[in-house]
Amino acid sequence: FVGNSTYLDDHGPPPHKVLPFPSQVVYNRVGKCGSRTVVLLLRILSEKHGFNLVTSDIHNKTRLTKNEQMELIKNISTAEQPYLFTRHVHFLNFSRFGGDQPVYINIIRDPVNRFLSNYFFRRFGDWRGEQNHMIRTPSMRQEERYLDINVCILENYPECSNPRLFYIIPYFCGQHPRCREPGEWALERAKLNVNENFLLVGILEELEDVLLLLERFLPHYFKDVLSIYKNPEHRKLGNLTVTVKKTVPSPEAIQILYQRMRYEYEFYYYVKEQFHLLKRKFGLKSHIRKPRPKPEFFIPSPLETEEPMDDEEDDEKWLEDIYKR
């Protein structure tokens, strides 16, 4: 009887879902490197293109025990594909635990600018909370909140010295204990992982080109990302998330920071060079000057320039709401 026929009787098995390649992407986002901007874009893109955006509520646990690594890898690997998983977490080696190694993407920025952005953001927040930004880190003692950045650096406070300053490299080196020790071993392992496991590591200072390349490499995730990013409604939000009360340390303090972060800079310049090679390969022009022996430090203030949105540890619903009006 026709009334009792099933879909299978009439049509055969349902069509198999053809997955784009790659269909497993991990964005293990580095703190204070514009990742909240990218996550906001991903929320819009996941609805537009129908991929599975998997985010994490854990923002302050980047180093995991072996069991925690196994558990997280298992959870990620069983997500519906195509997925893009994002979390502040140091590089995870899926193949070590018998999983399929996903494609990784990430963005980094000038190490001193990243450090300063984090230093002042922890204390004073950003322009969105202009009325209440003083409670950004409620547990912070007043003398710590108002600790002069130069004093912190010159008098070698823990926050302004190693190993706290060794921050970017472990995101690429991985979960091995030696990845947390400033030195050649962690640096070389991070470079190796960039070459072998990361589809793209971009530079925040050239964010529009990063988005262009992501659209080129991963169209099923990032198609139209640049037009969304350039949307005036989106751009004006950027001014609200610039860290407030940011001041520039003295030249002497900056020189000390540079010495303490020499491995971070070696990695940053390596990634930047690789990124520029990719840009040239795909016809994007870079304004490349010969590298100086010391980095050029320019810390823009909110009044001088529009920065990409600083990332923040919590995902804020109000940012998404503007797209649902």
The more confident residue out of 49 and 133 is 49
303 assigned to some structural domain:
no
How would you label 198-207 residue by residue, b for 16+ Cβ within 10 Å and e otherwise? Answer: bebbbbbbbb
Statement: residue 151 has pLDDT above 50? yes
- The answer to which of 3-12, 44-53, 206-215 has the lowest mean pLDDT is 3-12
pLDDT tens track for 242-265: 565 678 899 999 999 999 999 999
Q: How many other CB atoms sit within 10 Å of the CB of residue 229?
A: 19
For residue 1, what pLDDT is reported? 45
291 assigned to some structural domain:
no
Q: Average the pLDDT over 44-52 and give the result.
A: 97
pLDDT tens track for 124-135: 876 544 444 444
Statement: residue 25 has pLDDT above 60? yes
314 assigned to some structural domain:
no
pLDDT tens track for 271-292: 999 999 999 999 987 655 555 4
Q: Which of 88, 90, 234, 276 is catalytic?
A: 88
- Domain extent at residue 243: 24-285
184 assigned to some structural domain:
yes
294 assigned to some structural domain:
no
- The answer to which of 32-36, 179-183, 293-297 has the lowest mean pLDDT is 293-297
What mean pLDDT, rounded, does the chain reach?
83
Which CATH number is 193's domain given? 3.40.50.300
Total structural domains within the chain: 1
For residue 9, what pLDDT is reported? 58
For residue 76, what pLDDT is reported? 96
Residue 88 catalytic?
A: yes
Band of pLDDT at residue 301, cut at 50, 70 and 90 = very low
The more confident residue out of 58 and 180 is 180
For residue 232, what pLDDT is reported? 82
Q: Is the peptide bond before 13 cis (omega within 30 degrees of 0)?
A: no
pLDDT tens track for 75-121: 999 999 999 999 999 999 999 999 999 999 999 999 999 999 999 88
High-pLDDT (> 70) share of the chain, %: 75
194 assigned to some structural domain:
yes
304 assigned to some structural domain:
no
293 assigned to some structural domain:
no
Statement: residue 201 has pLDDT above 70? yes
Statement: residue 317 has pLDDT above 60? no
